[in-house]
Chain A
Amino acid sequence: MEGAPSRTPYRLIATQVSRHRVAAVIAFLVVLPWLTPSHALAANILIFGLYAVGFNLLFGYTGLLSFGHAAFLGSGSYATGVVMVHYGWPWWLAIPAGITLAALIGLCMGYLVIRSRGIYFAMVTLALGQCVYFAFYKAEAITGGENGLRGVNVETIDLLGWKLDFQDPITKYFVMLVFVAAALWFVSRLLASPFGAVLESVRENEKRAAACGYDVARTKLLAFVISAAICGLAGALRALHLSIVPIDSLHYLTSGQVVMMSLLGGMGTFFGPFVGAATILWVEDVATILTKSWQLVVGVIFIIFVLFFPRGIWGSFLHWLGRR
């Protein structure tokens, strides 16, 4: 249709942003705490943005809609909290513990669900997510049950003699950003890799991907586990951020929230999940001051986008840039 893409300034921006997508997202996250009404909101956006990035790897890039991803966010939080509170592990060792547990639960859930498709996939992940919820809920002695797990405290961080005050919101935010940045770099490399191409081909046409010689089930399972691990990291950071692990981290509403964030931001785009997380949390933050029924505001925005801008906020923006 067209030879060389015309070099309008808009196109140029679009190509540059997509070429340096990790740098662009990190640049946004670096300035974010000074844009939001509160530092706590910025930290929330950071954590839920990463959670949505992990989810989007499965939803937007592999084409699998999971309604049980809270299991990974929550188990990441709990594993981090439990090893710190009950076993006295240092925070930097507790984060890999969170990632590992989430990945292991991802492996088990993935193994059970990977052969079902579409609505069945969504329903089975929802059911398995609820199983994880009740398992943690009932294990009160370890997890604190309904009250959540308290006392996940990190006072200071000692970096080879350089002491950082983790209670300071900005310091805490930037420590977490280091982990988020590493995860984003990993996801970006993954998407650009041959395996990323296989994920897309599975999303596009499973039958054809299999006929090309790709083991669709194993590909999906690996995507599921990596997605779970990234959500687990988001959960681990959330435990450190909140100093407690609330039981609602495992709740199905948390699973639903990440679906909304991805759809609103733009599924299958790199930055979309962050845009979605930022929009929903920001609107929630502002609307709760104005009205008790803030969910109504979020819901109306969501419906408008699903109906009129199915590419989501960021997806529509990219589309608009590309057409100029």
Chain B
Amino acid sequence: MNHPILVAENITKRFGAFVALKNVSVAFEAGRLTAIIGPNGAGKSTFFNVLTGAFAPTSGNVNYDGHDITGKKQHEFARMGIAKSFQITNLFPQLSVLENVRVAVQMRHSRFQLLTPRQSMKGLIDQAEGLLNLVGLSSYSSQTARDLAHGQQRCLEIAMALACDPKLLLLDEPTAGMSPEETLVMMDLIVRLADQRTVILVEHKMKLVMGICKRIIVLHHGEFLAEGTPDDVRANDEVKRVYLGQSI
């Protein structure tokens, strides 16, 4: 077994009286493509938001590479090598596709550089073009981001997440709202990305992840339910019960 890259310990998250997550402890192995699944209202997205620092947990903590990262600010995550894509597409809508990625690439090199023209930083532009190539958007680089099709916007978001060269990539329902064709393209991309880094995926559609993930974590009603290989999870009685009536 690989060493765990991300460890969530006893995560509880309350919203007022509502308990969204109850004592969830999970360790994510480095280099693995892991999926977090569960029926509606299982707390997947809340868990994702706690892992990526968007929500502070009510109790418990998150460790990354042996460091406690609970309560770190959003911008610190990318600098530590943790990148994410949002469930709802989040881009810089009025900027060009290339500039979206270029700004993201620029983060590691210059944040408060006031007088150098950005066009003179050719290396950053090349890197951005490389990432667009990887996600299959090279021919759209001069288009405005908001003019892209939905599936392309999601791919652009992944290119932006990759810009900080993350060791850990977290994706919240990357195929949400996609057509079947777009979903296939995205799944293929995710598998390729997982070759080089740890990828954690939150997914609602169980069938999708069964084929590509090495490890699956199942949440239900805010609690940890099961963990294992796709075959283990498929055979688990508890999982069968909560996914009642659905083929898994």
Contact = CB atoms under 8 A, between A and B. Distances in A.
Question: Are both chains from one complex?
Answer: yes
Interface of A: 1, 189-190, 192-198, 200-201, 204-205, 207-216, 219, 222
Contact of B115 (A189, A200, A215): A189
Contacts of B133: none
A38 to B, nearest CB: 37
Contacts of A211: 74-75, 77-78, 83-84, 86, 90, 161
Given A212-B104, A212-B107, A222 B112 contact: yes
Nearest to B108: A213
Interface in B90-133: 90-95, 99, 102-104, 106-119, 121
A208 B104 CA distance: 9
Nearest to A196: B118
Contacts of A205: 90-93
Contacts of B83: 211
Nearest to B113: A194
Contact of A194 (B86, B116, B147, B160): B116
Contacts of A195: 110-114
Contacts of A207: 74, 86, 90
Given A189-B114, A195-B111, A197-B103, A213 B91 contact: no
A179 to B, nearest CB: 18
Interface in B66-97: 73-79, 83-84, 86, 90-95
B164 A208 contact: no
Contact of B95 (A189, A190, A201): A201
Contacts of A189: 114-115, 117
B217 interface: no
A129 B205 CA distance: 53
A208 B91 contact: yes
Given A198-B103, A213-B79, A216-B75, A190 B115 contact: yes
